Structure 1
Amino acid sequence: MEEQTEADVLICEDCPAVPTISRRRLNGLPALLAISFLVAGLPSCAWAQDASTAGGHADVAAQAGSDAPQGPMNFIAVGVGVAPKYPGAKSYSPVPFIAADITGKGVEISMRGPNIRANLLGDSAFSIGPVAGLNFGRSQSDGGVARNLPKISDEIDLGGYAAYRFGGNERGQGQLELEVTALRDVSHTSNGFTVNGDVSYILLRSFRWSLGADANLTYASSRTLRTYFGITPASALASGLIPYSPTGGVRDVGGGLTAGYQFNRRWGVISRFGYNYLVGDAAKSPIVKAGSRGQLLGGVALSYRF
């Protein structure tokens, strides 16, 4: 049996918590492509949102073992999670929980759920690059008030992000990261856009354990809010809900925790718990009043470094 050293089991240096986006080893875009849309079928854009705001947190667990000399630098995790069936729903569905970090030719690519990004600056305190995301729509089969509302097709978003991390000890414990991500619908589902601000902090990073916390806020355009939370006169007649036309503003605030444990230099487990709270015009929607303003998201995944 191969003898292990402490360095062999170090928890990823950049892994704060899970559903965020890793900024150091592989920041999110090609990773999603590489795994090929295994996340297809996620029932709610809530998961996509939590995934994008948890970016740096998966790094905490994702980069376990990255301190090891000549140790594996790439990472993939597959598991199961739960998410609301649609934005504002009070019922939940199981969803695939997937994360990945892959580095190559100075570009870091990371995937968290249905979001993927590329850090064009490599292993630097600053990171910037393109982002692609998938927001899952809504159908009558989701139940609740959705039964009598029009179907919303899945939405493909493209945009970019910029982040800066600082502080922390030699392993990254105590590191703080600030990030802004802007995404616009290119699939003509909503024709809107969102801007998200995220702050993440690495609470713990030891040889085997990692723990990160994050807080986020999302602004959504009028078109985005009307698509997911609005009620047209025709929909009002079919559903019995009152007509409603929200305007752009802060859509939600939230936060989460991501934890990781490394069994050895290659295998580990990561878990994520997130909570988003709908505010502003989104919270006033009859859809949300019939559902829930609180949106829980969580998951557990087995990770492998290579």
Structure 2
Amino acid sequence: MALFELSAGERRAAPAGQEIREHGLAWRHDVRPTPFKGEARHFPKRCEYLCMTLSSRIGRLAWPTLLLAALALPAAASAQSGDHVTLGAGAGVVPDYQGSDDYRFLPIPVIDAQFGQFFVSLRNGIGVNVIEIGPLTAGASVALVGGYRRRDVPDGIRRVSTTAGGRLFANLKLDNLSFTVGATKAVEGGTRGVVADASLSYALPVSDRMTVIPTIGTSWANGKHMNRYFGIDASEAIASGLPFYRAGSGFKDVSGLITASYRLDSHWSLGATGGVTRLLGDAADSPLNERRWQPSGFMSVAYTF
């Protein structure tokens, strides 16, 4: 017997030898596929010190969302306000995709700049702060929405291209506490879906040079994103030997991480982040999922002009 997902939350068993029809295709199920199993991935932010992030979802990429979807790269710098430019380089160890049991080493650029209301950052992309009222900042941007390469997933599964997306976000900062919410819609290619994220950070100054920033976060995705990223359609089921699976909308992950930033002087800073992401709901139940708990880590060096 094998399980075929008909809709979110609905399954039925198909006996061996029975003809299966889906979207005009038909095939005979003779062998029970074995889905991947596994047990044991944000989003950081800018708090009292500048934290550079990869989108998302992190989370966004698997390197998201993290980010997308995706996960996150911090680079610490001195507390500052107004116009600034921070550039640097970093490297991380991240999953090939959300749910993958394989990891890769990834060089990552560090960039964070602001000129008036306009900004460039790894988390929010290129955009403008439309609202700046006291501790509240809100804006819009164009950001990356991550996918996965064909070679990273089982044979027969189509790749999900990394593409650009429109993003809306808001950040509330109260002293050392920072709360951020956002939503990104892929506008061309990729999953063409929507991923929303929320995160909470708190900056803990350890010394006049070092700050530790714990962060927790979660992300939600609509059915279009979930089914394209974690689902398996009829043609992919035939080609890969994995069971047909349809993923519905819902919360797809929750993350926890700790960032340490060390200011060498008024310009140079070092950053390191370690964290773990737990897949939830239909993302965790996908036959593509090999590992529900996914650790990741990043290190960086940055220069603020």
Band of TM-score, shorter chain? 0.7 to 0.9
Contact 1:21/1:112 (CA < 8 Å) preserved in 2? no
For residues 205-257 of structure 1, the C-alpha deviation after alignment (integer angstroms, 9 at most, x for no partner) is 53210110111111111110111110111111111111000110011111211
Contact 1:79/1:302 (CA < 8 Å) preserved in 2? yes
Equivalent residue for 1:129? Answer: 139
TM-score (norm 2): 0.74
Equivalent residue for 2:182? Answer: 181
Equivalent residue for 1:88? Answer: 99
Q: Does 1:160 align with 2:159?
A: no
Q: Does 1:305 align with 2:295?
A: no
Q: Does 1:119 align with 2:168?
A: no
Q: For 1:227-242, what aligned pairs fall within 5 Å after superposition?
A: 227-242=228-243
Q: 2:62 aligns with which of 46, 56, 71?
A: 46
Q: Give the share of equivalent positions with the same residue, in percent.
A: 26
2:80 alignment partner AA = S
Q: Does 1:20 align with 2:44?
A: yes
2:44 alignment partner AA = T
2:140 alignment partner AA = P
1:63 alignment partner AA = A
Equivalent residue for 2:208? Answer: 207
Q: Does 1:76 align with 2:81?
A: no
Equivalent residue for 1:63? Answer: 77
Distance in structure 1 (CA, Å) of the matches to 2:180 and 2:241: 41
Over 3 Å counting, the alpha-carbon distance change for 1:111 and 1:51 in structure 2 is farther
Contact 2:63/2:71 (CA < 8 Å) preserved in 1? no
Which structure: larger Rg? 2
For residues 96-145 of structure 1, the C-alpha deviation after alignment (integer angstroms, 9 at most, x for no partner) is 233322222x2252422684554344594111111332233223322xx4
Contact 2:94/2:295 (CA < 8 Å) preserved in 1? yes
Distance in structure 1 (CA, Å) of the matches to 2:143 and 2:203: 25
Aligned length: 260
Over 3 Å counting, the alpha-carbon distance change for 1:182 and 1:65 in structure 2 is closer
- Give the number of the structure whose residues are more often strand, by fraction: 2
Equivalent residue for 2:29? Answer: none
For residues 3-30 of structure 1, the C-alpha deviation after alignment (integer angstroms, 9 at most, x for no partner) is xxxxxxxxxxxxxxx96343789998xx
Distance in structure 2 (CA, Å) of the matches to 1:244 and 1:258: 36
For residues 272-298 of structure 1, the C-alpha deviation after alignment (integer angstroms, 9 at most, x for no partner) is 22321110011110000xx11122222
What are the ranges of 5 or more consecutive residues in structure 2 without an aligned counterpart? 1-41
Distance in structure 1 (CA, Å) of the matches to 2:167 and 2:277: 22
Distance in structure 1 (CA, Å) of the matches to 2:50 and 2:272: 19
TM-score (norm 1): 0.74
Distance in structure 1 (CA, Å) of the matches to 2:207 and 2:141: 30
Contact 1:24/1:124 (CA < 8 Å) preserved in 2? no
Equivalent residue for 1:7? Answer: none
Q: Secondary structure at the match of 2:203?
A: strand
Contact 1:115/1:134 (CA < 8 Å) preserved in 2? yes
Distance in structure 2 (CA, Å) of the matches to 1:51 and 1:242: 27
RMSD between aligned residues = 3.3
Contact 2:63/2:97 (CA < 8 Å) preserved in 1? no
Over 3 Å counting, the alpha-carbon distance change for 1:304 and 1:218 in structure 2 is same
Distance in structure 1 (CA, Å) of the matches to 2:258 and 2:51: 19
CA displacement at 1:50 relative to structure 2: 5.0
